[in-house]
Amino acid sequence: KVESSDSPLSLEKKLFVEKLTPSGVVIEPVSENQELKTGDKLISRIIIRSDRDMEFVHLKDMRASALEPINNLSGYKYSGGLGYYENITDISTDFFFRYLAKGTYVFEYDLRANIEGDFSNGITSIQCMYAPEFSSHSEGIRLKVE
């Protein structure tokens, strides 16, 4: 059971499940004991906070083996005033930033639950490659897919 850490470069990871209701699409946070269903669409939200400008930062978001990314194309992206390379692999999604300015950034990407079982969702870690003392990681949670 991994707990989150604090540093000048910090991050927070949350999972949400998307549900269709009569009033439209609603996202709800995934709790530790919540049972998901095969085919559920989840949203992984990562919040990065940096108290200083940094260069060459690597963010690695591990995911449970029951989850598959809906978009599986790697490439350079630009979002919210920040350019980064997103690399999608079998076990994680990696984000590479050449320059990360001081501030708060939010990343989201969609996942689909496709296998039944009890899984560890994994942690998300971030590290400045030229100053490794600036690193942080999120906490891990368990997922149950029925």
Which tokens sit at 32?
Answer: 């530790």
Which tokens sit at 33?
Answer: 């004991």
What is each CA distance from 70 to 41, 105, 108, 113, in whole angstroms? 9, 22, 12, 10
Q: Does the predicted TM-score (pTM) go above 0.85?
A: yes
Those residues whose C-beta lies under 8 Å from the C-beta of residue 30, and which sit 6 or more positions away, are 14, 15, 16, 17, 36, 42, 141, 143
Asked whether the CA dihedral 143, 49, 125, 72 is positive or negative, the reply is: positive
End-to-end Cα distance, the chain: 22
- pLDDT tens, residue by residue, 76-121: 999 878 899 999 998 999 999 999 999 999 989 999 999 999 999 8
Q: Is the pLDDT of residue 141 over 90?
A: no
Q: How far apart are CA 55 and CA 38, in angstroms?
A: 40
